[in-house]
Amino acid sequence: MSTLPPGGSVCLVCNGPGELSTWVRPLAEALHEAMPLRPRAEQASLALDLVLVPCPNATGREHHVASDMGLFRRVTPARVFWRLLCRPGRWGPWPRHGVVVFLGGDQFWTVLLSARLGYRHLTYAEWIARWPRWNDRIAAMSSQAQQRLPPRWRNRCTVVGDLMADLPASARRSQPLPEGEWVALLPGSKRAKLRVGVPFLMETADRLAARRPGCRFLLPLAPTVAVEDLLEQAGPSNPIARAYGTGPLQPDGAMPWCLLLRTAAGTTVHVIRSHPAHASLSQCALALTTVGANTAELGALGVPMLVLVPTQHLEVMQAWDGWLGLIARLPLLRRLLGVALTAWRMRHRGLLAWPNISAGRMVVPERVGAITPEQIAAEADDWLSAPARLQGMRDDLRSLRGQPGAVAALRQMVLELLPPAAAGP
C-alpha cells in the first residue's frame, strides 16, 4: 500500500437508529476492510468519523449506540451540530483533507458541514438528491433517483443500488433459531411508538398464541431501546397499557442468545439485545411491525410482514417529520395540534411501508385505523395457515431487493474522492 497523506477524514453523516444499522454500519465496516483507518488501525493517517445531525424522530441515544460499534474515531452528537459548524476545533482537530458522506437526515446539513470543513461531498440518494450543485458525487439507489436530477448534474451521479440489498442473507445458516414457527414483534424505537406498540403487540402475541399454541415470539431490540423500556411501556406507568389485557411484562430468565420476558397470560417473548439481529429475523415466518426503517430491513431480508398503525391513540403518535412535527411537540400545543396533525397525516397518508413505497403498490399489508389485537392475531393466523401466500409475499419482497453490491460500489466512490495516496494502490 502506498504512503498515506499527513492526515485525512472520512466523515459519515447520519440521523437515526434505522440508518445507523442499515447504511452506516455496513459502509463503515467496508471502509475499514479497504484501508487502514483509525480507530481500528491506531497508526493510520486516515480516520473514520461520524457526525449525527438534528432530527425530530431521533431518540437521543444514537451517539451511544454509534460509539459502542467501535468503528469511529469520533462520534459527534446531534445536540452539538450547530456548535460544530461554528467552531469545529472545539471537537478536536479536523484534517485538511476529507470526504463527507450523507447517509441519512436532511441533506442540507451535509452541504453545510462539507463547506465548513472544506471537504469533498458525496450523497447517497435514496429517492432524490436535493442539492446536486454542491455534491462532488451522487450515489443513487436507483435509475429513477438519477433521472430526477436536472440533466446538467447527472454526470455526477452513479447508480449503486440499494444498500439494504447487502444484508446478510447467509446468516440464517450460521445462527439457526430453535425449531418452531417464529413471529417477530417490532414495536419501534421511538418513545411515542413504544407507548402504543408494546402493549398492542404483547396482547396480539397472547391472542395469537391462543390460536396457535406452537407459535414462538421474537423481539429484536432497536439499538436505542433497552429491556427496561419494554417493561415500562407494558406497565402501569404507561396509561395506554390499561387499554390492553396483557398486563405487566415479567423477566423470565435468559438463554445464551436472548432474554426471556413473560406476559401475564403466560406468553414467552424472546428478546434479542445484540444488533443487528438479521440472522434471527430472516428465519421468522412473519413479522408484526410498526412503520419506519424496520420495514425496509424486513423487506431486504425477505420477511413477510403486517404493518400496523393503530390510530386510536393519536394523541401520543406525534413522531412525524418536519416543522409541523416540531410544533406538535410544544408543551402548550402538543395535544391539540398533535392530534390534528396525525389525523391529517392518516387521511392523506398514501403508502407507509418502505417495500410499498419502493414498488408503488401494496406489496405488504398496511393496517391503519382503530385496529385491535384480536383482529391482527386473526389475520396473522390466516397468513401463517397459508404457506403459499406467505411465500408469494416473500418472493415479491426479494424481487424488490435488487442485486447486492451497493455497499462495495459506494465504498469505491468514497475512495475515489480521497487524495490518491489515501485510497491505497
Is the pTM higher than 0.95? The answer reads no
Domain identity same for 95 and 181: no
Task: Provide the CATH number for the domain around residue 271.
Answer: 3.40.50.2000
Q: How far is CA 417 from CA 148, 149, 404, in A?
A: 23, 21, 23
pLDDT over threshold 80, residue 3: no
Amino acid 316: pLDDT: 53
Domain identity same for 120 and 37: yes
Domain identity same for 143 and 207: no
Task: Provide the CATH number for the domain around residue 64.
Answer: 3.40.50
Q: Give SS3 for 67.
A: helix
Amino acid 5: pLDDT: 43
User: Which band of pLDDT confidence, cut at 50, 70 and 90, is reported for residue 334?
Assistant: low
Domain identity same for 343 and 299: yes
On whether the CB atoms of residues 333 and 327 are closer than 8 A, the answer is yes
Tens digit of each residue's pLDDT (9 = 90 or more) over 186-199: 998 888 889 999 99
Degrees, nearest 5: CA angle 140-345-208: 90
Domain identity same for 227 and 305: yes
The mean pLDDT of 320-349, rounded to a whole number, is 53
User: Which band of pLDDT confidence, cut at 50, 70 and 90, is reported for residue 91?
Assistant: confident
pLDDT over threshold 60, residue 265: yes
**Rounded to an integer, what distance in angstroms lies between the CA atom of residue 326 and that of residue 311?**
20
Q: By percentage, how much of the chain surpasses pLDDT 70?
A: 86
Domain identity same for 15 and 39: yes
In a domain, 2, yes or no: no
In a domain, 166, yes or no: no
Q: What share of the chain is helix, strand, coil (3-state, %, to 5)?
A: 45, 20, 35
Domain identity same for 373 and 395: yes
Element (H, E) at 192: helix 191-211
**Rounded to an integer, what distance in angstroms lies between the CA atom of residue 292 and that of residue 307?**
10
Q: In what order do the strands lie in the sheet with 181-186?
A: 250-255, 258-262, 268-272, 215-220, 181-186, 286-289, 305-310, 366-369
Domain count, the chain: 2
Question: Containing domain of residue 104, as a range?
Answer: 8-161+405-423
In a domain, 129, yes or no: yes
Q: Are strands 258-262 and 250-255 parallel, antiparallel or unpaired?
A: antiparallel
Domain identity same for 230 and 364: yes
Domain identity same for 221 and 175: yes
CA-derived radius of gyration, the chain: 22
Query: H/E/C letters for each residue in 266-321?
Result: CCEEEEECCCCCHHHHCCCCEEEECCCHHHHHHHHHCCCEEEEEEHHHHHHCCCCC
In a domain, 269, yes or no: yes
User: Which band of pLDDT confidence, cut at 50, 70 and 90, is reported for residue 290?
Assistant: very high
Domain identity same for 15 and 47: yes
